[in-house]
Amino acid sequence: MHAYPVAATTLLSRRSAVREYLHGAYWVLPTLGIVIGLGAGALLSIIPVEPGSLIDKVMFQGTAGDARGVLIVVSATMITTTGIVFSLTVLSLQIASSQFSVRLLRSRSVFLPPAK
């Protein structure tokens, strides 16, 4: 006899497989950030703001053109930062590949197939 019924065991193994997949997937955290940002924007847009209140003082007071300018600056900064991080990653991989043998790199890398 099993400690758990067969249906419960398959449910636990499925749940474990999904958790393992989500733990290693690169799209989960950005998607979660987008969903949280959209939800926060929707909730914050329905809050009534009284003139002269603390919220009114810290809110963005610009026009649509000003908001577009802010978004352009923020997105350009994010793209620049991503490019720098990518370049530094490639540089560190090049330095590491010059110090280690091909066999060692293949056994430790997720990008290269294992040595035979």
pTM of the complete model? 0.49
Domain count, the chain: 2
The DSSP secondary structure of 5-65, one letter per residue, reads: -HHHHHHHHHHHHHHHHHHH-SSHHHHHHHHHHHHHHHHHHTS---TTSHHHHHS----HH
Residue 3, domain extent: 1-59
| pLDDT tens profile 37-74 | 999 999 988 988 888 888 888 888 889 999 999 999 99
Among 10, 34, 59, residue at a domain's last position: 59
pLDDT at residue 115 in the model: 53
Question: How many residues comprise the chain?
Answer: 116
Residue 116 has pLDDT above 90, yes or no: no
- Are 87 and 110 part of one and the same domain? yes
